[in-house]
Structure 1
Amino acid sequence: MPVPTLPRGSYLLLFPEDVDGVIDTPAYAKGKSSRGASATAALEVNNDETEKIMKIPRTKAITRKLTSTDAEGQRLGTWIRQAVCVCVKNDGFFRYDQVTGYSDSRLTISTLSGPIEESPVVICDTVYPVVALVMGCHQFEESSWDYEQLTRIHDTLMERLLSPPTSEVPQNALPLAELIQGLLPDVSPCFDRVAKWVDSHTGVCTQVSVQHVVNYVYFVDGGKSAPSHVKASLGTSFCDSVVASRKTENALSSQNVAQTNTSNASGFFDILRVDDEGEAAHEEALVANTVLSGTLPTVILCEMPL
């Protein structure tokens, strides 16, 4: 088996964890030198206007090596880990989730109904992760919604989450049901879902509840004082903590999400899971049927396994 090489000028796709957070999203780089156990690469930042010379382990650089076709083409790697809203032709729905891989000219996007492989043209826009997770609890029929309506909902969600604190006294938590009230079909007061999400800064796939993500954005990003029982679970990122009262799977590694093999990209959303306190699947179905008989634009709530 030939020994992997890293010639000068090799193209690399580097991730935030590769360069100690110098970048927030994946970025392309060119190898400058390789000597012993280390390598140096010129990292492209600020839309190619400047370069940063970074030192990384040679073994890591080899695993991030790309073909010139990739690096000089569409550069799909920059989409990795971004939260997006997509609308696929002939599918009939707007869907939300995260880009988790790519191959050739297509992106792998993990959605509520499973992974899809499509060209970037299906992406309506990037969105905040909390927006993708909240909106991802529903499926929006293209015949009933247009993207302008959805963007207004996105904006209102963020306004509610980032509203300034009314006092220095710890604020009450913002339940997911209250956050979406008047914007999306009403759900039970304890409504929540569990989703798998790749931490954009570490590359680790973790399992979080949507309510936990809402809490993090509401209190940490919104600059509000949290009650002690909420504060203890927030962590340093919304991906850090899983609600302790729920039994969850071990976090999965996603070190190879940039590879063309997308066999592990399925099932990112476990939104179908019923985890409302004291709420059974048939009760969720009843809520859904009641909502769908109302006057709001058609939004299909997740069907619950009985």
Structure 2
Amino acid sequence: MNTWLKRKSKGDFLFDLINYTVLTIGMLLILYPLYFILIASVSDPNNIYAGDVWLYPKGFTFDGYERIFNDSSIWIGYGNSMLYAIVGTAISVALILLAAYPLSRKDFIGRNFFMWFFMLTMFFGGGLIPTYLLVKDLGMLNTIWALVLPSAAGGFNIIIVRTFFESSIPDEMREAAFIDGCSNTIFFLRIVIPLSKPIIAVMVLYHVVGFWNGFFDALIYLNDQAKYPLQLVLRNILVQNQVGSNMMVDVESYSAKLRVTELIKYGVIIVASVPLLILYPFLQRYFVKGAMIGSIKG
């Protein structure tokens, strides 16, 4: 360790010191808001209003979480969000892979035309009102399809996956497979897909996060509260203070309602974030590799 330090010049040491300082500050700026929400969700709101809660919880209580887990609208929203995220991600990733692989093949006739067609969708769009009218005319209002189909395959993601295929699946591998009697379909399913786990993990994470955090499409296209995703339920609680009556059944005074509402707000944020915090560690190693290969090479 001492030998390593002696090899470093004063400039290198100063550079490392500045880097570690900036990175530490950045890490604290990112992590502290999450930590504050966590400790606020189990603290007495009176202490939060007084500014006493900033490093550890005060007036420890699980009242907010008890009310959240006893409310049916939260669980319905949870189930809806999981359904939309799973179905939407499966459809999106499947369409992206099926579109990107032919575009990565040099022997695919017309691939430049289709590539330009996909790129045009990145720069031009009909806007909210025409999109709403289209969804309405297709009979998708107040259905899951209004949330998962309009944005199922993005041009940018198709380009990333196509670049990954071009840089990671050599033509020699395909030619050798064809010599052994492998068809295009078998080659894609048994060779290309298993070798594409990194970029598939990237696409899965992108879309799961997008569907899980999305509320605007649900706000526009859904009018049945039984179909609301969790984020729309969370929005109603945070923005409009629409806390379910089941959570307030034993609360009488206005001040007590405000106190319970604050606990529920912080608690719902934590509850809504848990699935993504659980998912990311399993996809992290694939995510980093896939994002770098798919975006830089090619």
- The reply to whether TM is greater than 0.5 is no
TM-score range, shorter chain: under 0.3
Name the TM-score, length of structure 2 as normaliser: 0.26
Question: RCO greater where, 1 or 2, for CA within 8 Å and sep 6 or more?
Answer: 2
Structure with a larger share of its residues in helix: 2
